[in-house]
Amino acid sequence: MKRYATPLRFLVLIGLFVGLEILCRTKVIDPFTMQPPTLIVRDLWNLLAAGKLNKAIAKTLSNAAIGFALAVSVGITAALVIHRVRILREALDPLFATYYAIPVLAFYPLLIIIFGLGNIPKIMIAFMLGVIAVIVNTLNGLDRVPRVMLKTARIVRMSPVETAFRVTLPYAAPYVLTGVKFAVAYSLIGIIGSEFVMSTEGMGFEISFAYTNFDNATMYPLILLILIVSISINLLVGLWEKRLLARRGLR
């Protein structure tokens, strides 16, 4: 049955596409609400070919990359420290358990007041969304390192840093990777979300700008572009994870 799933999924997507096309062409969905998908694709192609979006795309992706890099590096370091300090772990566990419920974007206005309307508040939102996922998943991996490995490390007199890089982190890598995967998705969500809510540049801003100008011919192609970009980035990371796990004989 699994064999049929992927082709069927394509069929469903094509069906949706054709269905929307028909609904739009027959004016059941009026053109002020949505344009036919074929027109959206054509507009997107034109926008990309004209190079008008290059700056916005570069801005969004570079900010997302900074937020992602910060989340991963700080997250892993923090997890290594938290794992060693028991009292810290006890104090932070309840925070980790409820963190997903916190509307992180609600901090955005405050960050704008503090840092001004620029890159920093957006990067901080992306960082705040991603870092906890990295910490939680890294801790989960560190908890599973067999004690005998840690003892061996101590016997050969590895320093804590060396132990982290040569024993614990490699062992916990698959779990860390899950956190990294979340951080990729969250950094994109954070950057684009804050650009959309209030900003002066980036893909999210371009969408909200097009929306306020009733410029559907720009807005829908942009939405499509963001969906394509984020879905393909997430897919690539997923594939990479699968390959790494397969090499380790997991899954």
Partner 1 sequence: MSTLRAWRGPVLMIVGLLSAWQALYWITGDIALRSPADTIRHSWALFQRPAMWPHIRETATAFSAAIVIAVTLGMSVGLTLGFSRLAGQVFEPMLVALYSVPKVTLYPILLLMFGLGISAKIAFGALHGFIPIALFTINAVRNVRPILIKTGRVLNYDTSDLVWRILIPAALPEIFSGIRIGLALTMIGTVLGEMFASQRGLGYLLMNAIGLHDVDLIMSITFVLIVFAAVVSSILLAIDRRLHRRV
- 178 secondary structure, DSSP code: H
Q: Nearest approach, Cβ of 93 to partner 1 (angstroms)?
A: 5
One-letter amino acid at 123 equals: I
Q: Which of 14, 110, 236, 244 binds partner 1 (CB under 8 A)?
A: 110
Cα–Cα dist 13/42, whole Å: 18
Q: Nearest approach, Cβ of 67 to partner 1 (angstroms)?
A: 13
Window 174-193: residues binding partner 1 (CB under 8 A):
185, 188-189, 192-193
| Contact string (CB under 8 A) for partner 1, positions 20-59, x = contact | ------------xxx-------------------------
Q: CA torsion sign, 93 to 97 to 100 to 101?
A: negative
Q: What are the distances in angstroms from CA 214 to CA 56, 81, 209? A: 19, 50, 9
Q: Name every residue whose Cβ is closer than 8 Å to that of residue 63 and which is 6 or more positions away in sequence.
A: 119, 122, 123, 126, 191, 202
Contacting positions for partner 1 (CB under 8 A): 1-2, 4-5, 8-9, 12, 32-34, 87, 90-95, 97-98, 100-110, 112-114, 185, 188-189, 192-193, 196-198, 204, 207-208, 210-212, 216, 219, 222-223, 226-227, 230-231, 234-235
